[in-house]
Structure 1
Amino acid sequence: MTTETVPSPFTETSGALRHAGFAELAAAGPVQKVMLFTGVPAWVVTGYAEARELLAHPDVVKAIGAGPFHEQLPSDIGNAMEQHLLSANPPDHTRLRRLVSAAFTVRRTEKLAPRIEEVAAELIDEMAARSPGPIDLVASYGYPLPMTVITELLGVPVQDRENFRRWSSVIVNASVQTAETFISSATSIVGLVRELIAQKREAPADDLLSDLIAVREGGDRLSEDELSSMVFLLLVAGHETTVNLICSGVAALLARPEQWALLRAEPERLPAAVEELLRFDGPLMVPVPSIARARIEIAGVTIEPGDVVLPALLAANRDPRRFDRPETMDVTKEPAQHLAFGHGIHHCLGAPLARLEGRIAIGSLLRRFPEMRLAEPDVEPARYPALLMNGLSALPVKLG
């Protein structure tokens, strides 16, 4: 067990070194006490079995009122942001998930496929018009595709989408922001969400937000703060993770041209390939932090009540005790039960949508730009430092 500050892997901007940092922790044992770069001690869980157990453990819970800069946030802003699924415990979580699931259905997700394909095609046309120079796939494709999808799904006006993208980028990377920057973005995004909810109450439409406003079970329905918190969660977490899935997935494939060529020749492998990409280099390093509410004995260590618990999803998904050749990305592997979307009651509600977007986004690139390659093959794409997200800051590519 170590108590030294661990600047890497969370602040590491190299993917290889980020994974190496987690591997170094794993080599010392599957559950390690470390001091995070934020100054908070935490149990980082790198073992697959241990992470899966703790993700579903009834005594590992969310710390209510422990969101980023919670003490500095105006109370009305905090309430409008933090009353969502990822910050709730049973029975509140059970109630919220039931209500949200009634609106965010598989049927609604499946109906999005044609529109996702249209958005991908439009963005691809725009990139093709700027060729043959290098294109940043993150800015030109990875970000706008899921942002367009989630904002259209919720019914956000086109003129507000760029602001949402800018503010959500600050909020999801709160651990490396100043309080002033975070609070400014949070206040702005809450203001727009509240305006949007008021508009949808006045004039409901065929979108998810109107359904969330209308959904009720018996006499129960989402409160105003629960509504704004869910919209906030869907806008921020719902698009950032999918950006990372698309861009990290394409980067992993282009770094292995034989894998790109195989998928191009056998596109029927794409669903399994997306699962392998999620396992190999998933969109999250860790989920939203939890705490222990009782003493837990696991892997020869004792987690005390109040201790922070961080299942390291990236490390667990490369645990050699669980996966064959875990350091090798191979789209021909049988899909494995990875933890990229978490496990237990907080398993990602939007996983079907993320998978759908990933398949369509990568498949569209394969068809339109079969000869696409990295613009700087000898330079590893940079990651941004964060506590939660595992994302690329840019991905320069040549389209043909």
Structure 2
Amino acid sequence: MSCKVCSTEHQFLQRGESPRANWLGNLRTQLSTAPLNPDPYGQHCLAPLNPDPYYMTLPPIYFYLPQPYFPHTLPATAAENWAGYGLGIYTWTLQTYFRLQAVGFPCQLVSSPPKEGIVLFHRQALQFRPLKPQSRLLLICLQADKQPCTVAHLHVVQNPTDSRSPHSYYLPHWSQPGLIPRNPERGDRFETIAYFGHACSLAPELKAPAWQYQLAALGLRWQPIINHNSWHDFCQLDCRWNDYSNIDAIVAIRSFHSEQTYLYKPATKLYNAWLAGVPALLGAESAYRAIGQANMNYLEVSSYSELLATLIRLKSSAAARQRLVCNGALSALQFLPEQITENWCQFLLNVAIPAWQRRCQRNRQQLFSRVKSFNFKLERATFQTQS
């Protein structure tokens, strides 16, 4: 069983099928002239609005980033090639916040846990301080590649096959900010093979000197941009993951021997390659298989020898490379930042806000029942005393 997919390809998120979609357009009009109030971190919170009657109970929406993890300097936009976006906690929290702000969706970035509303937080944010459920609080965990959060009411996952939580919704990981596509002046050259990622996500065979020697024998050059940072440290992170200008193909394989399908990992390396206009040679991972088509818009390899054979075949066929790139360009449209932003708007409007409303209504009903029961018991006790 896979998680629910929050994209405009699915009926419950189709534009125009819900009055909420029209309400979003009205809301954006209001937001275009709304004044901004500075917050303690130099960002801005939207001033109060007059919501459409459809959403008189519109809750505040927060992106929670605990103070110890708050960067000293925030990026100016979501499109900036900021080193911090190489960390999951920042790409999920800050990039989503900035993207929604850019289209006028009302949300705030906070460093203290709110008491009411919808709170979105990265799974690792709880390593500083656990969040406590409140009666008028809906907690949404940005799960990334971590375990589900027991206190969360909803989970956002980055792999459409990840169903570890019963209330999981798939929203794609953001593509690489500030991505520089392959330089078209390279034409049919096929010389530079790259890997962009963390050291722990690359097969040991591809870190060995023998790999570079074998590529050199084929007339190819290995150009890995590898980071070794911990999950909360980006000070020494190499920022060149965005530059595909001189890259002719990417290779991204975690292991040649594992039977894992990595259901918690995203397909980011695949659609970054699509957006950059380069062929991708990848391992057998569930996310790649879910969004791509092997031999159509990427190549799947299962062994070291197959990888070498595939590179030889690609080097000898510019037509095969061009076919992969063209098919990838079509597939990339659903992973443009604008499309993912729209998916987020639809998720918040069609899933998160109704879930918050239902939760508040249930809590009100439970409170009313408890008060009614207490009054009944009090009246009975009073009657018995008088008798």
TM-score, normalised to structure 2, is: 0.27
Greater RCO (CA < 8 Å, at least 6 residues apart)? 1
More helix by share: 1
Structure 1 or 2: more strand by fraction: 2
Give the TM-score taking structure 1 as reference length: 0.27
- Structure number with greater Rg is 2
